[in-house]
Structure 1
Amino acid sequence: MKTPQELLQNIDELLNTPGASPISSPVSVADLQDETADELLPALQKYFGYADFREGQREVVEKILKGENILAAFPTGYGKSLCYQLPALMLPGITVVVSPLISLMKDQVDALREQRIYAVALLNSSLSWEEYRAELERLERGEIKLLYIAPERFRSRRFLNLLNSHQISLFVIDEAHCISQWGHDFRPSYLALRDAIRELHPSSIALFTATATHGVRKDILEHLEIQPPQVFTRGIERLNLKFSVCEALIEAEKYALLDEYLQQREGKGIVYAGRRRETEEIASHLKKRGHRADFYHAGRTDVERKRVQDRFFDDGPEGLDLVVATNAFGMGIDKSDIRYIIHWTMTGTLEQYYQEAGRAGRDGETAHCILLYCPDDRGLHEWFVNESAPNKPDLLKLLKLIETFPSVGNLRMFAVEDLELSDFNADKIRVGISYLEKLGFLRRLYNVPSRLSVRTRLFESSLTEEIIDESQKVLLRHLRSQSELNVLDFCRGLNLRPDQLMEQLIDLQSAEYLRYWGTEDLVLIELLEDSDLFASMSADQMGFEDYLLSKNRQIDQIVFYSLAEGCRGRLVREYFGETIEADYRCGSCDLCDPNLRLVPLNKENDNANIQ
């Protein structure tokens, strides 16, 4: 068994040298059971520069090192990433981290490299083909310990096979609430992770979230079908954050409150608004008042968004003091000294509000979180829910459209763009397919290429070898006469399922009988039931009412928070399932501390401030 000093030495060999070869004597889980527990603090100090763990972090790290599954619900800014980054450096195999945002992955990878931890990589759509290929080669050489991956990658059979050739010590799902259809940020791409976990057989699974209620946590575990994990919760409460709500019935009141508040504040802040147009108008207003402000939303170009983000990080005279943004800004923004966050528009859920407000004060210093509540905001969110919610006419139309696409047996192949041409936006397509899959009408398989380039590497004698089976020999004979092929036509000619073709090609390429190239640009759907059966089902059978009821209850909760008469901190902690004392008061909200109250100015002053 290695000594603690030898364990750290082995980590150094791999992590602190760009392009290093794999460590000669990998750390084993057995090595980590006892002695490494004594070295966790030195490792934390050496590789991350922290003097000590925060409450709850060490326990999570120790459970992961012992190969146990965990679910950790820690507040935003509490240091969830450390809980998997540290064990990732100490475990024998690779740690896979699934994250929903490219910016979040890039920031974490850049931060680790700045600390001279080079055995990290990310694989997502931001990479060029050359960069992607280079990272895969590093993976194959054993130079990577920590691999960040976008959830969409797990729709690729080829990519999953590549991962399967490595030992996966830890499978991390960040923002795990994205798995749940009942959560505030459901992402259908996360649904592919259950099958990925089944295939990869990781030694342990770690789920992290900041904003999951008990019901959402239960839904996550039921979907993933994993052994009940150790659950760690570090209450939602952060006492350095001061929360205030002020009712503003008209826009003029909001502008007046904003101006009044900013006159007495220093430091950087974010103003969140619900519409793109509002971000532009508010930023323009602030610039006229002498603030260094700009707006950020998904409608701006990549270059423009990056410029806004870089200027927000710049603490010099050219930097921004304020960013006015939709919720497209902030997730993955690792800036610890944000002093205030103002919500111009009420969010649709209490989870979303606390996630966004929690981006303030990550340095532990006092920060302010202000919600400008308008009763009309509720109608906006109810409209969003009704527009995005699955409904029978849309799902029936989607299912019938899928039935019309090119087929091989009961399989259908299509590009998402084909559906978008039929008045479906990308979000409705993803949610609709996931809902039809949940109802048992279809099954989404791995994506497949529309076209392939194939180069065979064999002689006629190879076709008699026992190393490949008869079906593969038949396939090779057909491939020898074609260098470029249309996947649909080729599969129809051989009466072969496209997913089976891809599995055969992967096996034959691994055995070096051929090489193939092709972008997996088509969605592959297996139809399990037809649209006539769907048309005969009632709304109750489809669960639409339950979905709408759940979403409207979430709106109710953020309205209750906004109109609360008692302690706001108490309401939030109870919502997230915490047990608290009968006489509890947080002391950090405007209903506990009168000094935090914002008083609307009279309308004459409001109008004067707007002119």
Structure 2
Amino acid sequence: MKLPVYGPRLRKVARAHFGWPSLRPGQFKPMRAVLRRKDALVVLPTGAGKSAIYQIPAVLLPGPTVVVSPLLALQQDQITALNERDDPKIRAVRVSSAETPREQQEAIEELRTGRAEFLFITPEQLANPDRLAEVRSLKPGLVAVDEAHCISAWGHDFRPDYLALGDMIRELGSPPVLALTATASPPVRDDIINRLRLRDPEIHVSGLDRRNLFIEVAYCPDETYRWKRLTTLLDEGQRPGIVYVPTRRAAEELAERLTEAGYAAEYYHGGMKTGSREQRHEEFTDDQVDIMVATSAFGMGIDKPNIRWVVHMALPDSPDSYFQEIGRAGRDGEPGRVLLLWRAEDEGIQRFFTGGGPDEQELRGLAGALHKGRTTKTELQKITGLGPRRLGQYLALLEQVGAVRNGSRKLTVPAGAPMPAEAARAAVEEHERQQAVIRSRTDMMRAFAESRQCRTETLLAYFGEEIRRTCGHCDNCADGSAEAVNAVEEEGPFPIHSQVRHGEWGTGMVMGYEEDKMTVLFDTVGYKTLSVPVVVGQQLLAAA
């Protein structure tokens, strides 16, 4: 049987309805998966056109397309861009807390009558059983989950409200699901697939080599040197840019110091009032603020093409966070610069943030309440006294150890679930396992900072993508030190991305080689850097 030819149809829709003369690299294959009604997970860098992957096929699919997105501001940007075309085939509406009940009903009616194609909605709205039934009645042809890393406990933007999305989508009639994110390492990808309950998904990871960005890392022996490196970059005069710092206090203090030194800067962090955060976001977007000093809370939803540089004033918690944040530079394709200024003391800050585990007594009380038939989060909050975020994290742990099923309508205890005491112990152990992986990601961030290997090659190996060359746009490549190291990769005892087994740490994946060292991502303990001669001589690893 001859397969349909999708390319010409997709390109025709792109030109006729969106005004795009061609498709970008990395877009066609996942679009084809969508048209074949297959689930897919797509990892493309910021600015690479992820939205087009669901927008173009949606015109060819029956039924409306549901777009699940975490931020109202991000939704509004996408809705505005679609509706500016004044084309009923790609009209978008939204159902959220920002609309009145009447506006919400009008949006549903537009979709029902075919006058709109895209429904933008948050997980919180779908958690309402009545709303879920209403969306189901529309018979959606596709569900696109934007910023899909938010569903992952490994992701730095973990959102407990996303946990029930897999069950919600199933109740929508199990339409094909397209999960989209700008950054997802192997553990995050596995988490997305499991939590969204994707069915034999196609996985597309591409375009992570941002060739217009020059990647530079500098070790700073003291704070004076770190300040000088930052101001040297600012003196070059390119604007706008983002300075990432690890704490709220650091954001406020650095913004004040920069302003006093003649570099007008503002700060942004999660502790600010909502109105103030929105105002700062708008000011930066509208080029009223040239230098934004921010914590990791500033970023998701920024659709600004002309950011010329991103500076990190400390080691990020992981390559995941780092890659997500540097991806905001140079989205217009023009040259951009990313600079990491780090000190050994930075790791202590990240260790502090990852400290503090769950309370076993609180977990036991929560598991006990579930066994007594408490089925809603509202009930559980009243009984346990837990806040929404902590409750969500506890429920995620209990779900991972089989003690609860986080459905779209209610929480249930599955048959054969462990009793409360056993469930609490297992949840604590699961948290400790996760913390081992998280700590190992911090170790990988430091290894990246200290590496003499091609920076891009190191990052891409972490995310499961390879380039068989030096990138030419990082500090190590620029001074020639990366070339000799790169040639060693072919000589490793196991192929990159092959599965191996360790006697104590279990199964893992080979992520890359550097000189006489190899990095392996183990399922239970995270990333480990091993000596290749020792691995070979003592036969520490075997092919799995």
1:416 Cα deviation after fit: 7.8
User: Does residue 1:568 correspond to 2:530, yes or no?
Assistant: no
Residue 345 to residue 298, structure 1, CA distance change in 2 (3 Å): same
Q: Which residue of 2 aligns with 1:577?
A: 464
1:534 Cα deviation after fit: 3.8
2:172 to 193, 196, 200: 200
User: Does residue 1:68 correspond to 2:38, yes or no?
Assistant: yes
2:340 to 346, 366, 371: 371
**Rg: which structure is higher?**
1
Q: Which residue of 2 aligns with 1:400?
A: 365
Distance in 1 of aligned mates of 2:377 and 2:277: 32
Distance in 2 of aligned mates of 1:59 and 1:68: 11
Aligned AA for 2:463? Answer: F
Aligned AA for 1:382? Answer: R
Residue 410 to residue 311, structure 1, CA distance change in 2 (3 Å): closer
Retained in 1: the 8 A contact 2:152–2:191? Answer: yes
Aligned AA for 1:426? Answer: P
1:595 Cα deviation after fit: 11
Give TM-score, length-normalised by structure 1.
0.72
Q: Which residue of 2 aligns with 1:435?
A: 397
1:556 Cα deviation after fit: 1.0
Q: C-alpha deviations, 1:200-258, integer Å up to 9, x for none?
A: 23442212122112343233323433331222221421110111111224333322221
Aligned AA for 1:531? Answer: P
Residue 578 to residue 293, structure 1, CA distance change in 2 (3 Å): same
- Secondary structure at 2:97 match in 1: coil
- Secondary structure at 1:172 match in 2: strand
Residue 530 to residue 175, structure 1, CA distance change in 2 (3 Å): same
1:594 Cα deviation after fit: 4.1
Distance in 1 of aligned mates of 2:168 and 2:220: 48
Q: Which residue of 1 aligns with 2:82?
A: 112
- Secondary structure at 2:141 match in 1: strand
- Secondary structure at 2:276 match in 1: helix
Aligned identity (percent) is 34
Retained in 2: the 8 A contact 1:412–1:526? Answer: no
- Secondary structure at 1:415 match in 2: helix
Q: Which residue of 1 aligns with 2:326?
A: 357
Range with greater deviation from structure 2 (53-62 or 358-367): 53-62
- Secondary structure at 1:557 match in 2: helix
Retained in 1: the 8 A contact 2:308–2:329? Answer: yes
Distance in 1 of aligned mates of 2:233 and 2:283: 23
Structure 1: runs of 5+ lacking an equivalent: 1-31, 448-498, 500-523, 597-611
Aligned AA for 2:271? Answer: G
Q: Which residue of 1 aligns with 2:488?
A: none
1:559 to 446, 450, 455: 446
1:413 Cα deviation after fit: 4.7
Retained in 2: the 8 A contact 1:349–1:557? Answer: yes
Retained in 2: the 8 A contact 1:402–1:412? Answer: no
User: Does residue 1:549 correspond to 2:436, yes or no?
Assistant: yes
Q: Which residue of 1 aligns with 2:486?
A: none
Distance in 1 of aligned mates of 2:419 and 2:453: 53
User: Does residue 1:531 correspond to 2:420, yes or no?
Assistant: yes
User: Does residue 1:287 correspond to 2:259, yes or no?
Assistant: yes
Aligned AA for 1:354? Answer: F
User: Does residue 1:59 correspond to 2:21, yes or no?
Assistant: no
Residue 53 to residue 273, structure 1, CA distance change in 2 (3 Å): same
Distance in 1 of aligned mates of 2:174 and 2:324: 29
Distance in 2 of aligned mates of 1:101 and 1:416: 26
Retained in 1: the 8 A contact 2:41–2:178? Answer: yes
Distance in 2 of aligned mates of 1:299 and 1:420: 28
1:322 Cα deviation after fit: 1.3
Retained in 2: the 8 A contact 1:345–1:377? Answer: yes
1:410 to 373, 395, 398: 373
Distance in 2 of aligned mates of 1:566 and 1:420: 53
Residue 404 to residue 92, structure 1, CA distance change in 2 (3 Å): closer
1:279 Cα deviation after fit: 1.4
Distance in 2 of aligned mates of 1:95 and 1:551: 35
Distance in 2 of aligned mates of 1:312 and 1:286: 16
1:334 Cα deviation after fit: 0.9
- Secondary structure at 1:592 match in 2: helix
Q: C-alpha deviations, 1:465-500, integer Å up to 9, x for none?
A: xxxxxxxxxxxxxxxxxxxxxxxxxxxxxxxxxx6x
Distance in 1 of aligned mates of 2:352 and 2:168: 35
- Secondary structure at 1:85 match in 2: helix
Larger RCO: 1 or 2 (CA < 8 Å, sep 6+): 1
Residue 246 to residue 420, structure 1, CA distance change in 2 (3 Å): farther
Residue 68 to residue 400, structure 1, CA distance change in 2 (3 Å): closer
Give TM-score, length-normalised by structure 2.
0.80
Residue 413 to residue 222, structure 1, CA distance change in 2 (3 Å): closer
- Secondary structure at 2:76 match in 1: helix
Aligned AA for 1:397? Answer: E
Q: Which residue of 2 aligns with 1:233?
A: 205
Residue 415 to residue 223, structure 1, CA distance change in 2 (3 Å): closer
Residue 437 to residue 230, structure 1, CA distance change in 2 (3 Å): closer
Range with greater deviation from structure 2 (100-109 or 297-306): 297-306
Retained in 2: the 8 A contact 1:416–1:426? Answer: no
1:539 Cα deviation after fit: 7.5
Q: Which residue of 1 aligns with 2:125?
A: 153
1:380 to 331, 344, 349: 349
Residue 534 to residue 53, structure 1, CA distance change in 2 (3 Å): closer
User: Does residue 1:590 correspond to 2:479, yes or no?
Assistant: no
2:63 to 93, 102, 127: 93
Aligned AA for 2:317? Answer: G
Distance in 2 of aligned mates of 1:110 and 1:205: 23
Aligned AA for 1:359? Answer: R
- Secondary structure at 1:148 match in 2: strand
Distance in 2 of aligned mates of 1:251 and 1:320: 25
Distance in 2 of aligned mates of 1:166 and 1:429: 32
1:421 Cα deviation after fit: 8.7
Retained in 1: the 8 A contact 2:38–2:176? Answer: yes
Retained in 1: the 8 A contact 2:367–2:403? Answer: no
Q: Residues 140-289 of structure 1 correspond to what in structure 2 (within 5 A)?
A: 140-289=112-261
Retained in 2: the 8 A contact 1:350–1:558? Answer: yes
Distance in 2 of aligned mates of 1:184 and 1:587: 29
1:66 Cα deviation after fit: 2.9
1:344 Cα deviation after fit: 1.6
2:315 to 346, 360, 373: 346
Retained in 2: the 8 A contact 1:176–1:209? Answer: yes
- Secondary structure at 1:246 match in 2: strand
